[in-house]
Structure 1
């Protein structure tokens, strides 16, 4: 029994490490020539992510938000490396099939891959979807606490800059990034 438990634990650890490897030192090397820039992410992928998110998060089902949009930078070997972070939206849509299908429709054709995880915590069933795109070091997350709420956000990690904006932390203007119905005077969750 102990050997079986040890084998299962080793297998689970291997799977967990393999899933994280692309973002944490695996094949997603930010200086690798195949990785697209943070500017390319904003031009090529972000419009589809925004369109899917805006289908799901509406004025009618919006609950709260957390954080703001930002691009963090650091230098590595003389090159500027960026991480893009979106605002996290909390909303009342709990139909996980609808959430999955809405993002799938927009993201899978762009090279994203979906991973799904389900578990129970404190008696609440949680469904976690993460779409990843290795070419852009991009991820989109939607986590539903069934009977309560869903949260969604997207980000890139360790992406180079192509210099096309002249200022990598400056975001490209993106229609819909901030939904028309969003009230900028609302305080973030936990601050109101």
Structure 2
């Protein structure tokens, strides 16, 4: 049976990427407990960022991860519930809070880093199915969207399409020219 979304073509790129992301995240969620990782897969980058950069404000964390502020708040709540992070007053500015790893969070990072080595190998094998340059190609797409957001690309494509349609509507085909000449 043919895949409906594949048959729809590149307009459904986001759908395909979401499917892939969901498969990767669910696979990690199913596998993590077997290797002692208790944090949800989508939150591991938060733990790693806190481990590498120390305590960070939510806005800083969202910026480093290039994720939305509300999404990072959801992740922090989940990690707080698991006692892997805590929010504390910023020692440099008591008016703001920062997120930091707890002792359990630091232990979780060690387990997650070991798991990520295996995940990197499995991901390399999956990327190889797409051919050489797939990883670089995905990053090129991501950079392209940072340089020129997709909404701008949509607007430009729509304007070009409208211009082509307008030009086509005003052009007279050779066949119509001959027919008009015969009527004169």
| TM-score (normalizing by structure 2) | 0.27
Higher RCO, Cα 8 Å, sep 6+: 1
Q: As a proportion of its length, which structure holds more strand?
A: 1
